[in-house]
Homo-oligomer: A and B are copies of this chain.
Amino acid sequence: MDKKFWITQEPINPNDCIEKVVRHEAGAVNTFIGTVREFTKGKRTLFLEYQAYIPMAEKKLLQIGEEIREKWGEADTAIVHRIGRLDITDAAVVIAVSTPHRHDAFEASRYAIERIKEIVPIWKKEYWEDGTKWIGDQKENTSYEKDIPSEEEMRDG
């Protein structure tokens, strides 16, 4: 896997991201891992299903890496997002950012996860004890009760 920004169906090993950004110029690596939590506001999740338009999603992840490089000139970033069925405690997303000094690594990593939730076309379906629901955009401002938008709708949107 040579890509630094990719979507996978396989379990994620955080080291796959970390190793891509460790380098002589860096003194700090910040890693953010989003894992599947069992309870949300008292409601129990059994498992999740993520879907993505893979080429579009990878392009957006790459864009986030470029935005980080513009904002933090010496930062190097790798991001992987998993799709398919994920069980409780599985890693859904791993971000690794290396910088010369630690402050920037924290800031850039934080920026990356917020941007992923804003612009990357990945949908999450919650399987609760009492039903299922597609969660719309990842900031959960828009809800798609029945289905996610088609690829064509995405392109027009």
User: Which residues of A does B touch, CB under 8 Å?
Assistant: 13-15, 18, 22-39, 88-89, 98, 100, 102, 105-106, 109-110, 113
Contact = CB atoms under 8 A, between A and B. Distances in A.
A14 B32 contact: no
Considering residues A27, A28, A34, A105, which has the most beta carbons from chain B within 10 angstroms of its beta carbon? Answer: A27
Given A25-B39, A27-B35, A29-B31, 20 more contacts: A14-B31, A15-B15, A22-B35, A22-B89, A23-B89, A24-B37, A24-B38, A24-B88, A28-B32, A28-B35, A29-B35, A30-B30, A30-B31, A30-B32, A30-B109, A31-B32, A32-B105, A32-B106, A34-B102, A106-B106
Q: Kindly report how many copies of this chain are found in the complex they form together.
A: 2
Contact of A34 (B25, B27, B35): B27
A33 B35 contact: no
Nearest to A98: B35
